[in-house]
Chains A and B, each alone.
Chain A
Amino acid sequence: MMLPPARRLSRYVEPPMDGKRVDRVWAGVSARRVLIWSPRKVAMPAAAAAAGFALAAALALVVRGRTAAPTAPVAGLVLESGASQTMTLPDGSSAALGHDARLHFDRIEPSRVEATVDRGEATFDVHHSEARTWTVHARGFDIVDRGTRFVVVVSDAGVSVRVESGSVEVVRTGASGGGRKLEGGESWTSGTPPVVSPIESSAPSSAPPAAPTPSASVSATMATPVPTAATPRELLATADAARLAGRPREAAQSLDALRIRFRHDPRAGLAAFELGRLRLDALGDPTGALAAFDDAIVLAPRAGFREDAEARRVEALDRMNDARCPAARQAFLARYPNGLHTASVSARCP
Protein backbone atom coordinates (compact mmCIF):
# COMPACT_ATOMS: atom_id res chain seq x y z
CA MET A 1 0.00 0.00 0.00
CA MET A 2 1.29 3.40 -0.97
CA LEU A 3 1.21 6.16 1.57
CA PRO A 4 -0.34 9.43 0.54
CA PRO A 5 2.28 12.07 -0.13
CA ALA A 6 3.50 13.84 2.99
CA ARG A 7 1.74 17.12 3.45
CA ARG A 8 1.22 19.60 6.19
CA LEU A 9 -1.67 18.47 8.39
CA SER A 10 -0.82 20.47 11.45
CA ARG A 11 -3.86 22.73 11.20
CA TYR A 12 -6.03 19.72 11.97
CA VAL A 13 -4.20 19.00 15.24
CA GLU A 14 -4.24 22.15 17.30
CA PRO A 15 -4.37 22.52 21.08
CA PRO A 16 -7.18 24.44 22.74
CA MET A 17 -5.73 27.91 23.16
CA ASP A 18 -6.70 31.22 24.58
CA GLY A 19 -4.96 34.33 25.78
CA LYS A 20 -5.03 33.26 29.41
CA ARG A 21 -3.04 30.17 28.68
CA VAL A 22 -0.46 32.13 26.73
CA ASP A 23 -0.26 34.66 29.57
CA ARG A 24 0.12 31.98 32.19
CA VAL A 25 3.03 30.30 30.44
CA TRP A 26 4.67 33.67 29.87
CA ALA A 27 4.36 34.34 33.59
CA GLY A 28 6.32 31.14 34.15
CA VAL A 29 8.93 32.05 31.55
CA SER A 30 9.44 35.56 32.83
CA ALA A 31 9.63 34.35 36.42
CA ARG A 32 12.63 32.32 35.40
CA ARG A 33 14.27 35.29 33.71
CA VAL A 34 17.59 34.24 32.32
CA LEU A 35 17.98 31.16 34.40
CA ILE A 36 20.39 28.97 32.53
CA TRP A 37 19.00 25.51 32.29
CA SER A 38 21.58 22.86 32.97
CA PRO A 39 20.33 19.54 31.69
CA ARG A 40 20.63 16.91 34.33
CA LYS A 41 20.37 13.27 33.63
CA VAL A 42 17.45 11.38 35.02
CA ALA A 43 19.46 8.27 35.38
CA MET A 44 19.70 7.00 38.91
CA PRO A 45 23.07 6.03 40.23
CA ALA A 46 23.62 2.41 39.43
CA ALA A 47 23.92 1.57 43.07
CA ALA A 48 20.60 3.18 43.81
CA ALA A 49 18.90 1.32 41.00
CA ALA A 50 20.40 -1.94 42.18
CA ALA A 51 19.30 -1.25 45.72
CA GLY A 52 15.83 -0.45 44.50
CA PHE A 53 15.47 -3.64 42.57
CA ALA A 54 16.90 -5.61 45.46
CA LEU A 55 14.36 -4.04 47.75
CA ALA A 56 11.50 -4.86 45.43
CA ALA A 57 12.66 -8.42 45.14
CA ALA A 58 13.05 -8.76 48.88
CA LEU A 59 9.63 -7.31 49.57
CA ALA A 60 8.07 -9.55 47.01
CA LEU A 61 9.54 -12.48 48.89
CA VAL A 62 8.20 -11.20 52.17
CA VAL A 63 4.69 -10.62 50.92
CA ARG A 64 4.57 -13.98 49.24
CA GLY A 65 5.71 -15.36 52.55
CA ARG A 66 2.57 -14.13 54.21
CA THR A 67 0.52 -16.63 52.38
CA ALA A 68 3.05 -19.39 52.12
CA ALA A 69 5.88 -20.59 54.28
CA PRO A 70 7.36 -18.13 56.75
CA THR A 71 10.27 -16.24 55.32
CA ALA A 72 13.48 -15.16 56.89
CA PRO A 73 13.48 -11.53 57.99
CA VAL A 74 15.03 -9.05 55.62
CA ALA A 75 17.16 -6.36 57.17
CA GLY A 76 19.68 -3.77 56.25
CA LEU A 77 18.40 -2.78 52.82
CA VAL A 78 19.28 0.76 51.85
CA LEU A 79 17.37 2.68 49.24
CA GLU A 80 19.16 5.82 48.23
CA SER A 81 18.08 8.17 45.51
CA GLY A 82 20.13 10.49 43.39
CA ALA A 83 16.89 11.29 41.64
CA SER A 84 13.39 10.91 42.97
CA GLN A 85 12.04 7.41 42.84
CA THR A 86 9.07 5.44 43.97
CA MET A 87 8.96 1.84 44.98
CA THR A 88 5.56 0.23 44.93
CA LEU A 89 5.43 -2.81 47.08
CA PRO A 90 3.58 -5.95 46.11
CA ASP A 91 0.78 -5.25 48.61
CA GLY A 92 0.25 -1.83 47.04
CA SER A 93 2.07 0.14 49.71
CA SER A 94 4.72 2.46 48.41
CA ALA A 95 7.75 4.41 49.53
CA ALA A 96 8.74 7.40 47.44
CA LEU A 97 12.04 9.13 47.94
CA GLY A 98 12.69 12.73 47.08
CA HIS A 99 15.93 13.95 45.61
CA ASP A 100 19.02 12.85 47.50
CA ALA A 101 17.05 11.01 50.15
CA ARG A 102 18.18 7.91 51.95
CA LEU A 103 15.89 5.30 53.38
CA HIS A 104 17.14 2.37 55.38
CA PHE A 105 14.92 -0.67 55.78
CA ASP A 106 15.88 -2.09 59.14
CA ARG A 107 13.43 -4.96 59.14
CA ILE A 108 10.85 -6.32 56.77
CA GLU A 109 8.79 -9.15 58.11
CA PRO A 110 5.24 -10.32 57.55
CA SER A 111 4.30 -8.89 60.95
CA ARG A 112 6.24 -5.66 60.85
CA VAL A 113 8.15 -3.25 58.67
CA GLU A 114 10.65 -0.83 60.14
CA ALA A 115 12.47 1.79 58.16
CA THR A 116 14.69 4.72 58.98
CA VAL A 117 14.81 7.94 57.01
CA ASP A 118 18.44 8.96 57.23
CA ARG A 119 18.05 12.10 55.19
CA GLY A 120 15.75 13.86 52.78
CA GLU A 121 12.07 13.38 52.12
CA ALA A 122 10.30 10.06 52.01
CA THR A 123 6.60 9.63 51.34
CA PHE A 124 4.90 6.49 52.55
CA ASP A 125 1.58 5.29 51.28
CA VAL A 126 0.81 2.34 53.48
CA HIS A 127 -1.98 -0.13 53.07
CA HIS A 128 -2.87 -0.75 56.63
CA SER A 129 -3.02 -4.28 57.95
CA GLU A 130 -3.90 -5.28 61.47
CA ALA A 131 -1.47 -8.15 61.08
CA ARG A 132 1.48 -5.89 60.39
CA THR A 133 2.95 -2.77 61.98
CA TRP A 134 4.78 -0.19 59.93
CA THR A 135 7.13 2.13 61.77
CA VAL A 136 9.41 4.80 60.40
CA HIS A 137 12.30 6.02 62.53
CA ALA A 138 13.65 9.52 62.06
CA ARG A 139 16.26 11.11 64.25
CA GLY A 140 15.04 9.86 67.58
CA PHE A 141 11.34 9.76 66.76
CA ASP A 142 9.14 6.91 65.66
CA ILE A 143 6.26 7.48 63.28
CA VAL A 144 3.85 4.60 63.67
CA ASP A 145 1.51 4.09 60.77
CA ARG A 146 -2.20 3.70 61.42
CA GLY A 147 -3.08 3.20 57.75
CA THR A 148 -2.23 6.33 55.89
CA ARG A 149 -0.20 8.40 53.50
CA PHE A 150 2.44 10.48 55.19
CA VAL A 151 5.66 12.32 54.46
CA VAL A 152 8.77 12.28 56.62
CA VAL A 153 11.51 14.83 56.08
CA VAL A 154 14.87 14.64 57.82
CA SER A 155 17.24 17.55 57.41
CA ASP A 156 19.70 19.65 59.33
CA ALA A 157 16.71 21.52 60.71
CA GLY A 158 15.23 18.43 62.31
CA VAL A 159 12.37 16.09 61.54
CA SER A 160 8.99 16.95 60.14
CA VAL A 161 6.01 14.73 59.51
CA ARG A 162 3.07 15.62 57.33
CA VAL A 163 -0.02 13.42 57.16
CA GLU A 164 -1.90 13.65 53.89
CA SER A 165 -4.59 11.12 54.76
CA GLY A 166 -5.31 8.66 57.54
CA SER A 167 -3.33 9.00 60.74
CA VAL A 168 0.02 8.29 62.33
CA GLU A 169 1.36 8.46 65.83
CA VAL A 170 4.67 10.17 66.56
CA VAL A 171 6.52 9.02 69.68
CA ARG A 172 10.01 9.46 71.02
CA THR A 173 12.14 6.43 70.29
CA GLY A 174 12.11 4.16 73.32
CA ALA A 175 9.13 5.88 74.91
CA SER A 176 6.27 3.66 75.92
CA GLY A 177 3.57 6.21 75.38
CA GLY A 178 2.74 9.88 75.31
CA GLY A 179 2.88 10.13 71.57
CA ARG A 180 1.10 12.62 69.39
CA LYS A 181 -1.51 11.37 66.99
CA LEU A 182 -1.65 13.24 63.69
CA GLU A 183 -4.64 13.12 61.38
CA GLY A 184 -4.86 13.94 57.69
CA GLY A 185 -3.86 17.53 56.99
CA GLU A 186 -1.90 17.88 60.21
CA SER A 187 1.84 18.16 60.51
CA TRP A 188 4.45 18.12 63.17
CA THR A 189 8.04 19.22 63.34
CA SER A 190 10.69 18.60 65.94
CA GLY A 191 11.73 22.22 65.62
CA THR A 192 15.22 21.88 67.09
CA PRO A 193 18.56 21.06 65.57
CA PRO A 194 19.39 17.39 65.66
CA VAL A 195 22.05 16.13 67.98
CA VAL A 196 22.52 12.78 66.34
CA SER A 197 25.11 11.61 63.89
CA PRO A 198 25.73 13.56 60.70
CA ILE A 199 23.32 12.96 57.85
CA GLU A 200 26.02 11.27 55.84
CA SER A 201 25.96 8.39 58.28
CA SER A 202 24.30 5.33 56.87
CA ALA A 203 23.52 3.90 60.26
CA PRO A 204 20.08 4.46 61.66
CA SER A 205 20.20 6.85 64.53
CA SER A 206 19.64 5.41 67.93
CA ALA A 207 20.75 8.17 70.26
CA PRO A 208 17.85 10.00 71.86
CA PRO A 209 17.87 13.61 70.79
CA ALA A 210 17.71 16.56 73.09
CA ALA A 211 14.53 17.44 71.30
CA PRO A 212 11.19 18.57 72.56
CA THR A 213 8.30 16.21 72.92
CA PRO A 214 6.33 15.39 69.83
CA SER A 215 3.64 17.76 70.94
CA ALA A 216 6.00 20.65 70.50
CA SER A 217 4.52 22.18 67.40
CA VAL A 218 1.56 20.57 65.80
CA SER A 219 -0.15 22.68 63.18
CA ALA A 220 -3.12 22.17 60.98
CA THR A 221 -1.22 23.30 57.93
CA MET A 222 1.20 21.42 55.79
CA ALA A 223 4.74 21.24 57.05
CA THR A 224 7.46 23.10 55.24
CA PRO A 225 9.42 20.37 53.51
CA VAL A 226 12.77 21.89 54.33
CA PRO A 227 13.90 23.18 50.95
CA THR A 228 17.53 23.81 50.24
CA ALA A 229 16.74 27.02 48.38
CA ALA A 230 15.74 30.03 50.43
CA THR A 231 14.00 32.55 48.21
CA PRO A 232 10.89 32.23 46.05
CA ARG A 233 12.98 32.70 42.95
CA GLU A 234 15.40 29.97 43.98
CA LEU A 235 12.53 27.67 44.81
CA LEU A 236 10.98 28.26 41.40
CA ALA A 237 14.32 27.66 39.73
CA THR A 238 14.80 24.45 41.69
CA ALA A 239 11.31 23.32 40.78
CA ASP A 240 11.81 24.05 37.10
CA ALA A 241 15.13 22.24 36.96
CA ALA A 242 13.72 19.24 38.81
CA ARG A 243 10.65 19.07 36.63
CA LEU A 244 12.65 19.14 33.45
CA ALA A 245 15.06 16.56 34.79
CA GLY A 246 12.17 14.18 35.37
CA ARG A 247 11.99 14.57 39.14
CA PRO A 248 8.41 15.71 39.69
CA ARG A 249 8.40 14.89 43.38
CA GLU A 250 11.36 17.16 44.00
CA ALA A 251 9.75 19.87 41.91
CA ALA A 252 6.56 19.50 43.92
CA GLN A 253 8.52 19.83 47.13
CA SER A 254 9.96 23.18 46.07
CA LEU A 255 6.62 24.50 44.87
CA ASP A 256 4.99 23.33 48.08
CA ALA A 257 7.64 25.15 50.09
CA LEU A 258 7.09 28.33 48.10
CA ARG A 259 3.33 28.39 48.55
CA ILE A 260 3.58 27.64 52.26
CA ARG A 261 6.53 29.79 53.24
CA PHE A 262 5.89 32.75 50.97
CA ARG A 263 2.15 33.07 50.92
CA HIS A 264 2.30 36.80 50.28
CA ASP A 265 4.65 36.42 47.33
CA PRO A 266 2.88 37.14 44.04
CA ARG A 267 4.15 33.83 42.71
CA ALA A 268 2.63 31.73 45.49
CA GLY A 269 -0.62 31.20 43.64
CA LEU A 270 1.11 30.09 40.48
CA ALA A 271 3.31 27.77 42.54
CA ALA A 272 0.22 26.21 44.10
CA PHE A 273 -1.34 25.75 40.68
CA GLU A 274 1.80 24.17 39.24
CA LEU A 275 2.00 21.96 42.30
CA GLY A 276 -1.52 20.75 41.65
CA ARG A 277 -0.71 19.95 38.05
CA LEU A 278 2.37 18.00 39.06
CA ARG A 279 0.49 16.03 41.67
CA LEU A 280 -2.33 15.26 39.28
CA ASP A 281 -0.39 14.56 36.10
CA ALA A 282 2.97 13.22 37.19
CA LEU A 283 2.53 11.94 40.72
CA GLY A 284 -0.89 10.35 40.45
CA ASP A 285 -2.03 12.15 43.60
CA PRO A 286 -5.46 13.67 42.96
CA THR A 287 -6.07 14.26 46.67
CA GLY A 288 -2.93 16.35 47.00
CA ALA A 289 -3.69 18.03 43.70
CA LEU A 290 -7.13 19.06 44.91
CA ALA A 291 -5.63 20.70 47.99
CA ALA A 292 -3.12 22.56 45.83
CA PHE A 293 -5.73 23.79 43.35
CA ASP A 294 -7.92 24.99 46.20
CA ASP A 295 -4.96 26.83 47.62
CA ALA A 296 -4.14 28.36 44.24
CA ILE A 297 -7.64 29.80 44.04
CA VAL A 298 -7.34 31.20 47.57
CA LEU A 299 -3.90 32.66 46.97
CA ALA A 300 -4.64 34.19 43.58
CA PRO A 301 -8.40 34.52 43.11
CA ARG A 302 -8.05 36.88 40.14
CA ALA A 303 -5.16 35.18 38.39
CA GLY A 304 -5.32 34.26 34.75
CA PHE A 305 -5.07 30.60 35.62
CA ARG A 306 -8.15 30.55 37.85
CA GLU A 307 -10.28 28.92 35.20
CA ASP A 308 -7.60 26.31 34.63
CA ALA A 309 -7.35 25.69 38.36
CA GLU A 310 -11.07 25.22 38.72
CA ALA A 311 -11.17 22.87 35.74
CA ARG A 312 -8.29 20.80 37.09
CA ARG A 313 -10.04 20.78 40.47
CA VAL A 314 -13.03 19.05 38.86
CA GLU A 315 -10.65 16.61 37.17
CA ALA A 316 -9.05 15.80 40.53
CA LEU A 317 -12.43 15.19 42.14
CA ASP A 318 -13.38 12.98 39.21
CA ARG A 319 -10.24 10.89 39.58
CA MET A 320 -10.89 10.57 43.31
CA ASN A 321 -14.44 9.39 42.56
CA ASP A 322 -15.42 12.05 45.03
CA ALA A 323 -19.10 12.71 45.61
CA ARG A 324 -18.46 16.46 45.39
CA CYS A 325 -17.51 16.17 41.73
CA PRO A 326 -20.94 16.74 40.12
CA ALA A 327 -21.53 19.89 42.17
CA ALA A 328 -18.08 21.20 41.32
CA ARG A 329 -18.69 20.47 37.65
CA GLN A 330 -22.00 22.32 37.67
CA ALA A 331 -20.44 25.27 39.46
CA PHE A 332 -17.67 25.40 36.88
CA LEU A 333 -20.06 25.24 33.94
CA ALA A 334 -22.21 27.96 35.44
CA ARG A 335 -19.21 30.18 35.93
CA TYR A 336 -17.54 29.44 32.58
CA PRO A 337 -20.31 28.46 30.16
CA ASN A 338 -18.11 29.24 27.16
CA GLY A 339 -14.72 28.61 28.71
CA LEU A 340 -11.68 26.91 27.33
CA HIS A 341 -12.35 23.79 29.38
CA THR A 342 -16.11 23.65 29.14
CA ALA A 343 -16.16 20.59 26.92
CA SER A 344 -13.70 18.56 28.97
CA VAL A 345 -15.31 19.50 32.30
CA SER A 346 -18.75 18.60 30.95
CA ALA A 347 -17.53 15.05 30.45
CA ARG A 348 -16.34 14.69 34.04
CA CYS A 349 -18.06 12.65 36.75
CA PRO A 350 -20.94 11.50 34.55
Chain B
Amino acid sequence: MTRVQLVSSPQGPSDAALVVAARAGEQWAREAIYRRYSGLAFGMAYRLLGRDHEIDDLVQECFAQALANLHRLDDPQALGAWLAALIVRTTQKMLRRRAVATRLGLRRPMDPLDADQLVSPNAPTDVQAELRAIYRIIETLPTRARIALLLRRVEGMSQEEVAQAMGVSLSTAKRLLADGEERLREALRDPSPRSTP
Protein backbone atom coordinates (compact mmCIF):
# COMPACT_ATOMS: atom_id res chain seq x y z
CA MET B 1 0.00 0.00 0.00
CA THR B 2 2.71 2.50 -0.91
CA ARG B 3 2.84 5.09 -3.63
CA VAL B 4 -0.73 6.15 -3.03
CA GLN B 5 -1.02 9.79 -3.89
CA LEU B 6 -4.53 10.09 -2.47
CA VAL B 7 -3.33 10.36 1.09
CA SER B 8 -2.12 13.55 2.64
CA SER B 9 -2.56 13.55 6.37
CA PRO B 10 -2.86 17.07 7.70
CA GLN B 11 -1.24 18.10 10.91
CA GLY B 12 -2.33 16.36 14.04
CA PRO B 13 -2.14 12.78 15.23
CA SER B 14 -0.75 10.36 12.67
CA ASP B 15 -3.09 7.97 10.94
CA ALA B 16 -1.62 5.13 12.95
CA ALA B 17 -2.31 6.95 16.22
CA LEU B 18 -5.87 7.63 15.20
CA VAL B 19 -6.42 4.04 14.21
CA VAL B 20 -5.05 2.75 17.48
CA ALA B 21 -7.23 5.15 19.47
CA ALA B 22 -10.32 4.38 17.42
CA ARG B 23 -9.76 0.67 17.87
CA ALA B 24 -9.66 1.31 21.60
CA GLY B 25 -13.11 2.83 21.38
CA GLU B 26 -12.21 6.51 21.42
CA GLN B 27 -15.05 8.35 19.76
CA TRP B 28 -12.94 11.46 19.07
CA ALA B 29 -10.53 9.33 17.05
CA ARG B 30 -13.33 7.84 14.99
CA GLU B 31 -14.62 11.27 14.18
CA ALA B 32 -11.11 12.53 13.46
CA ILE B 33 -10.62 9.73 10.94
CA TYR B 34 -13.88 10.62 9.27
CA ARG B 35 -13.10 14.32 9.09
CA ARG B 36 -9.58 13.73 7.85
CA TYR B 37 -10.72 11.53 5.00
CA SER B 38 -14.24 12.76 4.24
CA GLY B 39 -12.93 15.00 1.48
CA LEU B 40 -11.21 12.08 -0.18
CA ALA B 41 -14.30 9.93 0.19
CA PHE B 42 -16.81 12.47 -1.11
CA GLY B 43 -14.55 13.30 -4.02
CA MET B 44 -13.88 9.72 -5.07
CA ALA B 45 -17.51 8.75 -4.66
CA TYR B 46 -18.61 11.69 -6.77
CA ARG B 47 -16.17 10.94 -9.55
CA LEU B 48 -16.85 7.21 -9.60
CA LEU B 49 -20.63 7.52 -9.49
CA GLY B 50 -20.85 10.66 -11.56
CA ARG B 51 -23.86 11.85 -9.60
CA ASP B 52 -24.20 13.91 -6.52
CA HIS B 53 -27.35 12.64 -4.91
CA GLU B 54 -26.09 9.16 -4.08
CA ILE B 55 -22.70 9.92 -2.66
CA ASP B 56 -23.87 10.71 0.87
CA ASP B 57 -25.19 7.17 1.19
CA LEU B 58 -22.00 5.75 -0.23
CA VAL B 59 -19.70 7.78 2.01
CA GLN B 60 -21.78 6.96 5.05
CA GLU B 61 -21.65 3.29 4.25
CA CYS B 62 -17.91 3.31 3.61
CA PHE B 63 -17.10 4.97 6.91
CA ALA B 64 -19.54 2.81 8.82
CA GLN B 65 -17.82 -0.24 7.39
CA ALA B 66 -14.37 1.16 7.89
CA LEU B 67 -14.90 2.13 11.51
CA ALA B 68 -16.43 -1.24 12.27
CA ASN B 69 -13.54 -3.06 10.65
CA LEU B 70 -10.49 -1.12 11.72
CA HIS B 71 -9.18 -4.25 13.40
CA ARG B 72 -8.67 -5.71 9.94
CA LEU B 73 -6.28 -2.98 8.90
CA ASP B 74 -2.84 -4.54 9.08
CA ASP B 75 -0.86 -1.35 8.62
CA PRO B 76 -2.56 1.55 10.45
CA GLN B 77 -0.41 4.06 8.61
CA ALA B 78 -1.94 2.86 5.34
CA LEU B 79 -5.38 4.04 6.42
CA GLY B 80 -5.88 6.32 3.41
CA ALA B 81 -5.14 3.67 0.83
CA TRP B 82 -7.29 1.19 2.71
CA LEU B 83 -10.19 3.63 2.73
CA ALA B 84 -9.72 4.39 -0.95
CA ALA B 85 -9.90 0.69 -1.79
CA LEU B 86 -13.01 0.39 0.36
CA ILE B 87 -14.66 3.26 -1.50
CA VAL B 88 -13.79 1.67 -4.83
CA ARG B 89 -15.19 -1.73 -3.90
CA THR B 90 -18.32 -0.34 -2.28
CA THR B 91 -18.98 1.81 -5.33
CA GLN B 92 -18.49 -1.21 -7.54
CA LYS B 93 -21.05 -3.16 -5.54
CA MET B 94 -23.50 -0.30 -5.67
CA LEU B 95 -23.17 0.05 -9.43
CA ARG B 96 -23.56 -3.66 -9.98
CA ARG B 97 -26.67 -3.85 -7.82
CA ARG B 98 -28.11 -0.87 -9.59
CA ALA B 99 -27.46 -2.41 -13.00
CA VAL B 100 -29.05 -5.71 -12.00
CA ALA B 101 -32.06 -4.00 -10.48
CA THR B 102 -32.52 -1.85 -13.57
CA ARG B 103 -32.29 -4.84 -15.88
CA LEU B 104 -34.91 -6.68 -13.83
CA GLY B 105 -37.18 -3.67 -13.90
CA LEU B 106 -36.93 -3.22 -10.15
CA ARG B 107 -35.47 0.24 -10.40
CA ARG B 108 -36.12 3.07 -12.77
CA PRO B 109 -33.25 3.81 -15.17
CA MET B 110 -30.93 6.60 -14.14
CA ASP B 111 -30.94 9.88 -16.01
CA PRO B 112 -27.89 10.35 -18.27
CA LEU B 113 -24.83 11.84 -16.64
CA ASP B 114 -24.47 15.56 -17.10
CA ALA B 115 -20.82 16.17 -17.95
CA ASP B 116 -21.36 19.93 -17.97
CA GLN B 117 -22.38 19.79 -14.35
CA LEU B 118 -19.57 17.43 -13.36
CA VAL B 119 -16.58 19.09 -14.93
CA SER B 120 -15.30 22.36 -13.55
CA PRO B 121 -15.52 25.22 -16.04
CA ASN B 122 -12.11 26.28 -14.81
CA ALA B 123 -10.43 23.19 -16.24
CA PRO B 124 -8.13 23.68 -19.26
CA THR B 125 -9.89 22.99 -22.54
CA ASP B 126 -8.00 19.76 -23.24
CA VAL B 127 -8.85 18.50 -19.76
CA GLN B 128 -12.47 19.44 -20.23
CA ALA B 129 -12.59 17.55 -23.51
CA GLU B 130 -11.10 14.44 -21.98
CA LEU B 131 -13.32 14.51 -18.90
CA ARG B 132 -16.44 15.12 -20.96
CA ALA B 133 -15.53 12.18 -23.18
CA ILE B 134 -14.94 9.98 -20.15
CA TYR B 135 -18.25 10.82 -18.52
CA ARG B 136 -20.00 10.41 -21.85
CA ILE B 137 -18.90 6.80 -22.19
CA ILE B 138 -18.67 5.40 -18.70
CA GLU B 139 -22.30 4.40 -18.45
CA THR B 140 -21.87 2.30 -21.57
CA LEU B 141 -19.02 0.35 -19.96
CA PRO B 142 -19.29 -2.70 -17.75
CA THR B 143 -18.93 -1.79 -14.10
CA ARG B 144 -15.35 -2.98 -13.64
CA ALA B 145 -14.12 -1.29 -16.81
CA ARG B 146 -15.85 1.89 -15.74
CA ILE B 147 -14.16 1.88 -12.35
CA ALA B 148 -10.77 1.04 -13.83
CA LEU B 149 -10.98 3.82 -16.39
CA LEU B 150 -11.98 6.42 -13.83
CA LEU B 151 -9.25 5.40 -11.41
CA ARG B 152 -6.64 5.59 -14.15
CA ARG B 153 -7.74 8.62 -16.13
CA VAL B 154 -9.38 10.78 -13.46
CA GLU B 155 -7.81 9.74 -10.17
CA GLY B 156 -4.48 9.37 -11.94
CA MET B 157 -3.60 6.01 -10.45
CA SER B 158 -0.96 3.78 -11.96
CA GLN B 159 -2.02 0.43 -13.38
CA GLU B 160 -0.66 -1.26 -10.28
CA GLU B 161 -2.64 1.02 -8.03
CA VAL B 162 -5.79 0.43 -10.04
CA ALA B 163 -5.30 -3.31 -9.60
CA GLN B 164 -4.69 -2.89 -5.90
CA ALA B 165 -7.67 -0.63 -5.32
CA MET B 166 -9.99 -2.93 -7.26
CA GLY B 167 -8.63 -6.10 -5.72
CA VAL B 168 -7.81 -7.68 -9.09
CA SER B 169 -4.63 -8.91 -10.70
CA LEU B 170 -2.46 -6.56 -12.71
CA SER B 171 -3.27 -8.38 -15.94
CA THR B 172 -6.98 -8.07 -15.26
CA ALA B 173 -6.61 -4.38 -14.55
CA LYS B 174 -4.70 -3.93 -17.81
CA ARG B 175 -7.40 -5.73 -19.74
CA LEU B 176 -10.14 -3.65 -18.17
CA LEU B 177 -8.21 -0.47 -18.88
CA ALA B 178 -7.59 -1.50 -22.47
CA ASP B 179 -11.34 -1.89 -23.01
CA GLY B 180 -12.14 1.44 -21.44
CA GLU B 181 -9.35 3.34 -23.13
CA GLU B 182 -10.30 2.02 -26.53
CA ARG B 183 -13.79 3.40 -26.03
CA LEU B 184 -12.32 6.64 -24.79
CA ARG B 185 -10.21 6.93 -27.94
CA GLU B 186 -13.33 6.53 -30.04
CA ALA B 187 -15.17 9.13 -28.01
CA LEU B 188 -12.34 11.64 -28.33
CA ARG B 189 -12.18 10.99 -32.06
CA ASP B 190 -15.90 11.72 -32.42
CA PRO B 191 -16.98 14.11 -29.69
CA SER B 192 -20.70 14.01 -30.59
CA PRO B 193 -22.82 13.15 -27.57
CA ARG B 194 -24.05 9.83 -28.97
CA SER B 195 -20.83 8.58 -30.46
CA THR B 196 -20.68 5.52 -28.30
CA PRO B 197 -22.84 2.44 -28.49
Contact = CB atoms under 8 A, between A and B. Distances in A.
Contact of A246 (B30, B64, B101, B155): B101
A19 B128 CA distance: 28
Contacts of B154: 8-10, 13
Contacts of A44: 104, 106
B155 A32 contact: no
A13, A56, A244, A246: which has the most chain B beta carbons within 10 Å? A13
Given A6-B156, A42-B97, A43-B100, A15 B55 contact: yes
B105 interface: yes
Nearest to A84: B106
B46 A9 contact: no
Interface residues on B, range: 35 or more
B119 A13 contact: yes
A14 interface: yes
B120 interface: yes
B8 to A, nearest CB: 13
Interface string B1-18: 000010000000000000
Contacts of A39: 93
B5 A8 contact: yes
Contacts of B64: 28-29, 32, 35, 37, 240
B38 to A, nearest CB: 5
A243 interface: yes
B195 interface: no
A16 interface: yes
A4 B31 contact: no
Given A4-B126, A12-B127, A282 B156 contact: no
Contacts of B119: 12-13
Contact of A1 (B52, B61, B104, B188): B188
Interface in B36-56: 38-39, 42-47, 52-56
A68 interface: no
Interface string B83-111: 00000000001100110110011111000
Contacts of B94: 244
A12 B107 CA distance: 31
B179 interface: no
Interface of B: 5, 27, 30-31, 34-35, 38-39, 42-47, 52-57, 59-61, 63-65, 67-69, 93-94, 97-98, 100-101, 104-108, 118-120, 122-123, 126-128, 130-131, 152-156, 181, 184-185, 188-189
Given A10-B47, A15-B45, A30-B31, 6 more contacts: A1-B189, A9-B130, A12-B119, A12-B123, A15-B55, A30-B30
**Top-8 shortest CB links A-B:** A8-B156, A15-B46, A12-B123, A246-B97, A28-B60, A12-B120, A29-B63, A32-B64
Interface of A: 1, 3-4, 6-17, 21-22, 24-26, 28-30, 32, 34-37, 39, 42-44, 49, 56, 83-88, 240, 243-246, 248, 277, 281-282, 284
